[in-house]
Amino acid sequence: MRNCCMALLFCVSMASMVVAADPKLAEKPFKEGLRLEEASQWKEAEAAYSEAIQLNSANALYYLHRARVRFSSHDFSHALEDAKAAGNLDPKNGEAFELQGDIDRELKNSRQAITDYSRAIQLGLNTAAVYNGRAAAYGDLGQNPAAVEDYTAGIKLRLDNPDPIRLRGDVYVSMGRYNDAIDDFDQSISLKADNPDAFLSRGFCWGQLGDYRRAILDFDQVLARRPQDAKALTLRGAAHFRLNENEAAVADFTEAMKITPRDVYLYLARSTALVRLERHTEALQDREEAVRLTPNSADVYLARGGSYHQLGMHEKGLADRTKAIELDPKLPEAWYARGSAYYLLGDYAKARSDIAEAVRLRPNYREAAEVLAKAEKHLEEAKNIAPPAAPLEPATPVEPAAAPPVETAAQPAAPVPSAPPAPSAPRPEFPAPTPAPTPVARAQPKVTGVSAQEHESRGRALTKDGKYAEALTELTAAIQSKPTLTTAYNARGYVYLLQRDYQHALADFNDAIRLNSAYLNAFQNRSIARKALGDAAGAAADLAAANSKAAH
């Protein structure tokens, strides 16, 4: 038996020697593998490369190609084994280490990926792909300056690729450098007009900078290409909310809910817009659903408590605020919310106790400090005044400390550099709106003493002087002061036209014509904007309309 085994081993060894001595036998299946790989037939190519490796296991190239097709078919663990085998057989093969880096990133091993890419670069692999890969790995780890440096190196090696320019913009977003990010998104879009990810990220940047109109235009571009993009719908709804366009905000949040029906944020956001529209029963329904979805979140109880108070159900409102405190006793908003409710109900002692705790937890909590002072004043006055003969009526219900419609992100909210921005990633939200109304008289709008017409006049004069930025400021102030001032829209659109900002010019001319369908000059201006945007038919139609109106 032992002799038979020895003979068998000898035969196997001889066979191996024969294969190694004639590597040409492996070339046929290898070439077939190359053909199949070119045709994206990954499994068939893998089988061909495996046959080549069986015939000649000393060829690093065979392992490298099998690693690539396994990577393409998402068989990452086996792909990594092959890439390492290729590197071991040919330690100077930079492509083998670059591929190891790509695979390690997919396996969420970004630190090892950086080591792999660095080795490839040390071996002389000076390509855009290797620098972009390492940049993405740095981005995964939050090492943003290093990511920017590598993306910049990759961009210089290939200036015509829009993707790394966009990805560098995403890193700038995460660093809070929104203007730099916008420059990158502009460049990426100029290289690739059908670029919804760049429009989405740029729209987010405009929102961060407070230019919600531009943000909406960019989100429109995304949704024209990807109508089911929940993130774009959510962010556009947030932008409409910030512009006090609450019906539009509700519509966008509702559409987003159809795509992501378990997103609690959307219920809270829509409910707050509904409160603005005084649709309090619907707002309560949204907040009840938010509680059902996340019963251990203090925020949802704060929001629902606000709805209960709004509808006069104060016992339930106080119970929800108490529940929020139980869930997160270190949340100052919870103490402030319950204290505000007590204040509105005239229980100044309990109000003082709760709001004092809110101020202790957050010493710079200005709104809470103001209400605390008022509660203490009421208590001081009560010492010197006889009790009333009948109980005081509760104050008119308002909504203290309701959850804001857009949460402030924990970080500057860049989409993850490797694949920005995905709906499952941390949401790139606009900053939270001003905190909920306090139980004091509402502040009246600031009176500047300057009429909308005066702002418009100043804007027109600045336009003539070529001071376009200042002109836009004045004309925007005119529109904010009087949203129906048709001529201000036309004047601002004209400034945008002079700046070659045709999208914003078109938006303003549309508003001017919407407000006054006989506005000859607005039709003429819109014709110019449409022509600049490549809409020859629309431009001709506007010019015809202008000529028709001039004739009459």
Alpha carbon 75 to its chain's center: 31
- Do 121 and 106 meet the contact criterion of CB atoms below 8 Å apart? no
- Do 348 and 414 meet the contact criterion of CB atoms below 8 Å apart? no
Helix (H, G, I), strand (E, B) or coil at 258: helix
Q: In angstroms, what is the C-alpha Rg of the chain?
A: 32
Domains in the chain with CATH codes: 452-551 (1.25.40.10)
Cα gap 387→370, rounded to integer Å:
25
Q: Which two tokens stand for residue 152?
A: 């910049």
Cα gap 167→457, rounded to integer Å:
43
Query: pLDDT tens, position by position, for the chain (552 residues)?
Result: 445 444 444 344 434 443 443 678 999 999 999 999 999 999 999 999 999 999 999 999 999 999 999 999 999 999 999 999 999 999 999 999 999 999 999 999 999 999 999 999 999 999 999 999 999 999 999 999 999 999 999 999 999 999 999 999 999 999 999 999 999 999 999 999 999 999 999 999 999 999 999 999 999 999 999 999 999 999 999 999 999 999 999 999 999 999 999 999 999 999 999 999 999 999 999 999 999 999 999 999 999 999 998 898 999 999 999 999 999 999 999 999 999 999 888 899 999 999 999 999 999 999 899 999 999 998 988 777 544 433 333 333 333 333 333 332 222 233 323 333 333 333 334 433 333 333 323 233 333 567 888 888 898 988 888 888 888 989 998 898 888 899 999 999 898 888 888 888 888 899 899 888 888 888 888 988 888 887 777 788 888 787 776 655
Q: Which two tokens stand for residue 52?
A: 């080549």
| Position 488, amino acid | A
Helix (H) or strand (E) holding 389: none
CA nearest 116: which of 34, 106, 66? 106
Alpha carbon 362 to its chain's center: 29
Half-sphere exposure of 165 (CA within 13 A, CB side): 23
Cα gap 96→15, rounded to integer Å:
29
Q: Which two tokens stand for residue 140?
A: 């995964």
Helix (H) or strand (E) holding 23: none
Cα gap 428→410, rounded to integer Å:
10
CA nearest 359: which of 327, 333, 322, 329? 333
Q: Which two tokens stand for residue 409?
A: 């992100």
- Do 526 and 516 meet the contact criterion of CB atoms below 8 Å apart? no
Computed from CA positions of residues 416, 422, 423, 427, in that sequence, does the dihedral angle turn out positive or negative? Answer: positive
Number of CB atoms found within 10 A of residue 14's CB: 10
> Rounded to whole angstroms, what are the CA distances from 412 to 67, 185, 375, 431, 537?
37, 17, 37, 10, 42
- Do 506 and 492 meet the contact criterion of CB atoms below 8 Å apart? no
- Do 153 and 126 meet the contact criterion of CB atoms below 8 Å apart? no
Number of CB atoms found within 10 A of residue 388's CB: 7
Q: What pLDDT, on the 0 to 100 scale, is given for residue 188?
A: 96
Number of CB atoms found within 10 A of residue 113's CB: 26
Q: What pLDDT, on the 0 to 100 scale, is given for residue 547?
A: 73
Q: Write the DSSP string, 477-536.
A: HHHHH-TT-HHHHHHHHHHHHHTT-HHHHHHHHHHHHHH-TT-HHHHHHHHHHHHHTT-H
Half-sphere exposure of 363 (CA within 13 A, CB side): 0
CA nearest 93: which of 60, 59, 130, 117? 60
Cα gap 407→287, rounded to integer Å:
15
What are the backbone angles phi and psi of residue 83, rounded to the nearest 5°? -65, -40
- Do 303 and 290 meet the contact criterion of CB atoms below 8 Å apart? yes
Look-up: residue for tokens 């139609």?
A: 541
Fill in the DSSP letter of residue 362. -
Does pTM surpass 0.75? Answer: no
Question: Which burial class, exposed, middle or buried, applies to 282 when counting CB atoms under 10 A from its CB (0-12, 13-18, 19+)?
Answer: middle
Q: Which two tokens stand for residue 213?
A: 């109109």
3-state DSSP of 263-297:
CHHHHHHHHHHHHHCCCHHHHHHHHHHHHHHCCCC
Look-up: residue for tokens 């309560």?
A: 284
What are the backbone angles phi and psi of residue 46, rounded to the nearest 5°? -60, -40
Q: Write the DSSP string, 113-172.
A: HHHHHHHHHHTT---HHHHHHHHHHHHHTT-HHHHHHHHHHHHHH-TT-HHHHHHHHHHH
Q: What pLDDT, on the 0 to 100 scale, is given for residue 14?
A: 38
Total residues belonging to the chain: 552
Cα gap 282→5, rounded to integer Å:
82
CA nearest 335: which of 352, 347, 349? 352
